[in-house]
Chains A and B, each alone.
Chain A
Amino acid sequence: MPPDDQFPWQDLRAGRPEACAELVRANYQAVYRFLVHLTRDVHRAEDLTQETFASAWQRIASFEGRAAPSTWLHRIAYTKFIDAERSQRRAAALLERCPSRADLPDPLDIALAGDEVRRLHEALDELDAADRAPLVLHYLQGLSYREMAVVLDEPVGTVKWRTSEALGRLRTRLKEEVIDDARQPLH
């Protein structure tokens, strides 16, 4: 997606608060949801969202506008997530991290949405972050492969391949769950 011509780039680079507020309003939800899917932890996602925008304000002067602002912010968010994962991996050696399915934002909504949605969420959560990121970016965030290449800092071909592989692994997990459910006795 080419940069938005209507967006007030000059005001943004000049640090006008109105332009910065517009950038926040237009993108904070997408950035937050992306981080929720990556971290599976709403509190971490909130923290990382704030860190993402704080980092954006620091870099806004050097932002050249080659990519769309949402792509640029997704890139910063993904970098923040990778950094947080690295530091958490170090901490995980001391304290084993529990699966945070209970931290999912709307368990009630998911339950109400149906068993299929729940299965899909669970299968998505069981994937590695490296597999989850392209799926979330492409199917849930609606980014194109070209934009994903900017966010993931990889060639477009690699991003397509990663997305296809992740989709295959997700399909395998869903099939396994269906088979497991079929094996369970009826109550």
Chain B
Amino acid sequence: MHDNRSTDSNPLAGSLEARLRALPQPRVPADLERRLLAAIPAAQPLARADRPAARAYRSASPWRWLAAAGVCGMLAAACLLIALALPRGDATRSVAKTDQPRHSAGQTNAAAAPAGNRMRPFFDASKPPKFAWPLAGAPSLTAASRLRAVSFD
């Protein structure tokens, strides 16, 4: 198997290849063989595939893979269950805000409100609900209204 391109393009190439093949080879030191033979270790390590640990691993490997897959599946199922069981506060609140009409303070019906709304005061402690002052004939005020300081004197 030789390169035909070089021989075709140049007639001298063939002779050069023949001259290269005919080059005298360097002499090998006489004691090199003896040294190399002496360097052969007495006991070679066993082939990797024949080691007892490798055999045990190879025989147990299908079960090992099955066990690993089972554990991974159980973990994934547990994560899914936890995610489903957690209260979805934000999502429910946004839906309640958009879908339900806005109730006045007197019309609040705790029994009719969904579970998410019932839990809302507990979670939204920083945002107090509207409060109607019990004053006859006076317009209802909210906690957010600004009151003058003289009203409390």
- A interface vs B, CB < 8 Å? 13-17, 20-21, 24-25, 28-29, 32-33, 36-37, 42, 46, 49-50, 53-54, 57, 60-62, 104-106, 109-110, 113, 116-117, 120-121, 124, 135, 139-140, 144-146, 160, 163-164, 167-168, 170-171, 174
Partner of B45, one of A15, A120, A144, A163: A15
New A-B contacts (13) at CB < 8 Å, excluding given A14-B50, A42-B29, A120-B19: A24-B33, A28-B28, A28-B33, A50-B36, A62-B47, A106-B27, A109-B27, A116-B19, A140-B20, A140-B25, A146-B1, A167-B3, A167-B13
Q: What chain B residues lie within 8 Å of A174 (beta carbons)? A: 16
Q: Report yes or no: A57 in contact with B44, Cβ–Cβ below 8 A.
A: yes
Most A-side CB within 10 Å, residue of B20, B27, B36: B36
B147 interface hit (Cβ, 8 Å): no
Provide 25 A-B residue pairs closer than 8 Å at the C-beta atoms, listed in order of the A residue: A13-B50, A14-B50, A15-B43, A24-B33, A25-B37, A33-B26, A36-B26, A42-B26, A46-B29, A46-B32, A57-B39, A57-B44, A61-B47, A61-B48, A105-B26, A106-B26, A120-B19, A124-B23, A139-B17, A140-B23, A146-B1, A160-B3, A163-B3, A167-B6, A171-B12
Distance in angstroms between the alpha carbons of A14 and B44 in the assembled complex: 7
Q: Report yes or no: B42 in contact with A17, Cβ–Cβ below 8 A.
A: yes
Distance in angstroms between the alpha carbons of A32 and B24 in the assembled complex: 14
Q: What chain B residues lie within 8 Å of A61 (beta carbons)? A: 44-48
Q: Report yes or no: B20 in contact with A139, Cβ–Cβ below 8 A.
A: yes
B40 interface hit (Cβ, 8 Å): yes
**What is the distance, in angstroms, from B28's C-beta to the closest C-beta of chain A?**
5
Q: What chain A residues lie within 8 Å of B23 (beta carbons)? A: 117, 120-121, 124, 139-140
For A32, the closest partner residue in chain B by CB is: B28
B98 interface hit (Cβ, 8 Å): no
Q: What chain B residues lie within 8 Å of A160 (beta carbons)? A: 3
B10 interface hit (Cβ, 8 Å): yes
For B42, the closest partner residue in chain A by CB is: A17
**What is the distance, in angstroms, from B84's C-beta to the closest C-beta of chain A?**
50
Partner of B27, one of A105, A113, A171: A105
Q: What chain B residues lie within 8 Å of A144 (beta carbons)? A: 1
Distance in angstroms between the alpha carbons of A82 and B17 in the assembled complex: 26
Distance in angstroms between the alpha carbons of A135 and B26 in the assembled complex: 15
Distance in angstroms between the alpha carbons of A154 and B16 in the assembled complex: 25
Distance in angstroms between the alpha carbons of A148 and B7 in the assembled complex: 20
Q: What chain B residues lie within 8 Å of A171 (beta carbons)? A: 10, 12-13, 16
**What is the distance, in angstroms, from B58's C-beta to the closest C-beta of chain A?**
15
For A17, the closest partner residue in chain B by CB is: B40
